Structure 1
């Protein structure tokens, strides 16, 4: 069998490392494609939501919103007022009594969460912020009169607040963190796939570079 002039090895032996490299490259490419499509499937709906709300947030001043307010005014029963006064004399930050929250649900259909309220000698105030709106409950500890008001700013404001994680709670904050990790996997696996294909596609790195340079130039030249 003839030997290679440079290595002194047969042609089949000289080409063996190249075959091994091709096998490893094919294995890595297959693995990266799996990570890429799985992460993209997980991120798909979230990326569409965040991209759409990015546009609405960027044009928030141009999108008209007509907040709708709804108020409920009433009088607490003597037993519930006594429970409120008892807590007001002892605490500066405590939730409303469970019996009062149950009474509000059954008689006025007002679901009040078990959150600390602001207590003073004259009144109890409970802020109830929420995505896309606001709400609050005020109780006069002297007369027992209460007022509840809820403000709804519409679906666009609701999804904008989801984008910002504003008044969304712990579960949604965890979702945003996990979604960000999935986006990192999607982006990094895509970058590595581009690297493996860049040998045969020389235009890849100029396009990637443009994606990095363009926002940097806009920030330097037009953001003050």
Structure 2
């Protein structure tokens, strides 16, 4: 083997070695994006389905009107809880717990008003509300419980209305999942030579359609 041949092989080997780290990086990036896309899709399947379905029920609420159920209750709390002249001494926590226990009230307290004659306690939850009016002189109360059905519940969950902070975190997590799903899909397209151009064309067409619908059809 001549020195020139050995030199050519060494030069070729050096070039391959020089390119090798980049090839490994591309392969690992493509593999990681594919792995993330697949498993994020599986993990967030129910979340995506939920927000897809509730997007339809929100946009066409008249198609899914449920029957509102209204129940009325009466009862009494201990007089000392509500008749204190100093309103800061009114037993708010005890009142709330008793109303919930005695009348199967759910949801969180949204308002607790106190005036000279009565206390008004309001509870809110997804597709749900309850309002109690307590006479401060007799400690008797009247409570109205309103339940608006399953569709109203899932619509409120979609909007995060009256669903509490923990459900708000769930919505944040869903948003992050969907964002990562979109990003990993774009990254995957970048490594598909045969589909890269058509894929980005479709991304551009989808973006343009969204803009045109907004520009010409949204008042």
Q: What's 2:86 paired with?
A: 90
Distance of 1:218 and 1:94 partners within structure 2 = 55
Aligned-pair CA distance for 1:154: 0.7
Gaps of 5+ in 2: none
Give distance in 1, aligned partners of 2:203 and 2:41: 19
In the alignment, structure 1 residue 200 sits paired with structure 2 residue 191? no
Instruction: Tell me how far apart the structure 1 counterparts of residues 157 and 89 of structure 2 sit (CA, whole Å).
Output: 28
TM-score (norm 2): 0.85
Aligned residue in 1 for 2:79: 81
CA distance in 2, matches of 1:94, 1:179: 41
Cα distance between partner residues in 2 of 1:173 and 1:69:
27
Pick aligned residue for 2:164 from 148, 165, 169: 169
Map of 1:31 onto structure 2: 32
Tell me what 1:127 maps to: 122
Deviates more, 1:39-48 or 1:52-61: 39-48
Cα shift readout 1:52-101 (whole Å, capped 9, x = no counterpart): 00011111133322211011023x25xx1222111xx3237976252x45
> Does 1:61 pair with 2:47?
no
Query: Deviation per CA, 1:172-217, whole angstroms, max 9, x where unpaired?
Result: 11111122122222211211111122x3223111111112111111
Q: Which has the higher helix share?
A: 2
Instruction: Confirm or deny: 8 A CA contact 2:131 2:145 kept in the other structure.
Output: yes
In the TM superposition, 1:182-201 aligns within 5 A as 182-197=177-192, 199-201=193-195
Aligned residue for 1:85, secondary structure, equals coil
Q: 1:114 to 1:208 in 2, by over 3 A?
A: closer
Q: CA RMSD in A?
A: 2.7
Comparing 168-177 and 178-187, the one that deviates more: 178-187
Q: 2: distance between equivalents of 1:26 and 1:138?
A: 67
- 8 Å contact kept, 2:65–2:151: no
Structure 1: runs of 5 or more not aligned: none
Q: 2:138 aligns with which of 137, 143, 151?
A: 143
Q: Using the alignment, how far apart are the partners of 2:194 and 2:33 within structure 1?
A: 18
